[in-house]
Chains A and B, each alone.
Chain A
């Protein structure tokens, strides 16, 4: 048994094999179980000497027998050799029962002898008989010697026996011990098996390391599993492992010797529920809860350390998730925009799962476009929010995720960028671990939440579940945001509506007031206007009446004296025509002539005024036909003249046929009149098309006029030629102008003296601008 402390203290600190490791438990069992004392009874065979009572009974019996024998011999011996038989009795008693029964037999024999077989029977007093004394002495001496001898022999025999027994004892003891050891070994083996079983079956990881080397002697499967090793053999309690690193809760790494087992061994410290975060070399982190204690031998010396460890990663994670989700719920309840929600989801996902890239995209309700609400990628080790953008087409992956649910994609090296993966900012780098979770809300897919890591195998199914939870939270929050937004919008709309209504009401009221004011003003203006119109109308009426009166006076009052002149001149001519000198008769004729001219003048003037007053009728007028007829008329009036007429065909205008005919008549007869002195007279009616529209003209090659006086042409009674040159009243062009003006047109001349004259006029095509209508 190597459990002896002296041995353990001297154990060399060498690497031990697995087998040695597994011999550990035996020792450990030994250490744990108190060392049992050899408990085998040293069994001794039963003999007489063992019963003192018997031995003393033998003494008494031998004394009895000796007495009886002596009494038989008494008739022979008498008082002679009274002790004879008692010698024997003493010796037998001593022989059988040892020296104490021998001595008892001796004394009893002496007393019996003295009472029965010596003189003074019935008394123990020895008489004076010397022989008696001698006999007694002899008896005592001999018997005593015999007893002593026997005892001496017995003592020596007992010594030999004891030595033998001891030898035998030793031999059997060793054997027993061997057996015992074997049994113990079996038992220990069983115990070890049990213990091993217990330790192996233990739901917690167990590691035992020896003192003082710290070498790990035992580690159960759970410990190996937790620490992700197939074997814990090469571990050392106090030395750092290259497979993992430990961190305190505050993130400080565990120094060498700081591990609980090391502390238990070296300082005898008992560690309870210490939590360590273990980061594995190959990736991944776990949280373990550790208990450690020293193992002491009965003398209180530390011989080893034991450590139990439990993987509390899931527990911590669950706690963290619970806390995170609780916090998430609170945080999300106050967000106002999907972006805020996305940021919160992102930070929680970072806390719970960790990521290198994060994206949250939302589809539109129609599902034809989607928008990245938030996209964060790690660029040069920093998390950068990328500019959100909108895309027209939803990638097939997203469609699939929306339809079939969350996906976990773990890619092995070498990583390749998925063609249809959600493109993150740093496209040069492919995510090794990708998770996608649909954001649903009442069964309909709103969007996709994705986190990705550049580390291979960064996530597992549990993480995907967490992500889906986050996505669900997000969906709820988005619904709330939408609902609130809708509500806010509708509130806002209502508010707007209310404001609008109020504003419009105010506006309406104002408008009503303004309208009233305006109405008042209109009334006032109308009244004013009406008054003014009345006044003006009155004025106009008066003016018209005045004009009428004027025309009347022209036609009547002017004519009346004219008529008198003409009449009386005629009377004088008739009464005394012959008596008057012929010169006077000629003068009277001129007077009458003048009256006729004046009458015509008055008639023309009245005609002009009638033009203004007459009503216009709009119709198509063929000016070419008109001109032809007028030309024919003029030709008939003066058949002697030779005039070349050039009349453009089919000149049709809109206007009042009667008035236009009068205008044309005036122009053509002017042309006729002023070309009268030309041998080769030429009168032209035509149309020129200019930018502003058609321009009609009447041209002659007659006398023409000086354009300096052109402005006077159109004034009534203004003439540029003497009556002797060309007869006329100077009212024709005034009439023309008045007619053209009434049609909304203009008339203008172009002429040079002796080079003929051209009168142009235009008429608005649509004739909407009829004046005076």
Chain B
């Protein structure tokens, strides 16, 4: 039985490592799947694989950026309802506005401070992985 998981789309490997570590710090490493780019993320999401509880999507990525990935997810019936939270270094209001427009469920500025980041992941996990999880007994 597959457990709930969060799909992290992150092209920066360092950041991906930091994300993994943050999940580990919150004991959520098993609920994590990381893909390196948008295409892979879409391929995964459009496949028969179980859908993630949440997609943490990096906005700024080479080739297909986060916004495009979001647009395609929302355009597809299979992924229309998948929650997506944008994860970005930018704190520009314009960026935030335009992404919200496309049916984003959250917007998180990547903090430089790792401790902050760990806290953010903890809260995300609490919300998306544990909440209303009656059918899935916690290990």
Chain A residues with CB under 8 Å of chain B are: 551-552, 555-557, 559-564, 566-568, 570-571, 592, 595-596, 598-599, 603, 606
Contacts and interface: CB of A to CB of B under 8 A. Distances in A.
Contacts of A566: 112-114
B88 A556 contact: yes
Given A555-B91, A560-B12, A560-B89, 20 more contacts: A551-B92, A552-B90, A555-B90, A555-B92, A556-B60, A556-B90, A557-B89, A563-B110, A563-B112, A564-B12, A564-B15, A564-B18, A566-B112, A567-B15, A570-B113, A592-B113, A596-B112, A596-B113, A599-B113, A606-B91
A199 B91 CA distance: 149
Given A566-B113, A570-B115, A603 B91 contact: yes
Contact of B112 (A551, A552, A571, A595): A595
Interface string B100-120: 000000000011111101000
A567 B91 contact: no
25 contacts: A551-B92, A552-B60, A552-B92, A555-B90, A555-B92, A556-B60, A556-B88, A556-B89, A560-B14, A563-B110, A563-B112, A564-B12, A564-B15, A564-B18, A566-B114, A567-B15, A567-B21, A571-B18, A571-B21, A592-B113, A595-B112, A595-B113, A596-B113, A599-B113, A606-B92
A567 B91 CA distance: 19
Contacts of B115: 570
Contacts of A564: 12, 14-15, 18
Nearest to B111: A563
Chain A interface SS verdict (over half)? helix
Interface in B69-93: 88-92
B117 to A, nearest CB: 7
Interface residues of B, number: 18
Nearest to B115: A570
Contacts, number: 61
Interface in B4-49: 12, 14-15, 18, 21
A568 B18 contact: yes
A354 to B, nearest CB: 111
Contacts of A606: 91-92
Contacts of A560: 12, 14-15, 89
A159 to B, nearest CB: 196
Contact of A570 (B60, B92, B114): B114
A8 B21 CA distance: 187
Contacts of A555: 89-92
Contacts of A563: 14-15, 18, 89, 110-112
B21 A559 contact: no
Contacts of B92: 551-552, 555, 606
Contacts of B18: 563-564, 567-568, 571
Nearest to B92: A555
B109 to A, nearest CB: 9
Given A563-B18, A564-B15, A568-B18, A599 B112 contact: yes
A563 B15 CA distance: 8
A604 to B, nearest CB: 12
Contacts of B112: 559, 562-563, 566, 595-596, 598-599
Contacts of B88: 556
Most chain A CB neighbours (cut-off 10 Å) among B21, B111, B114: B114
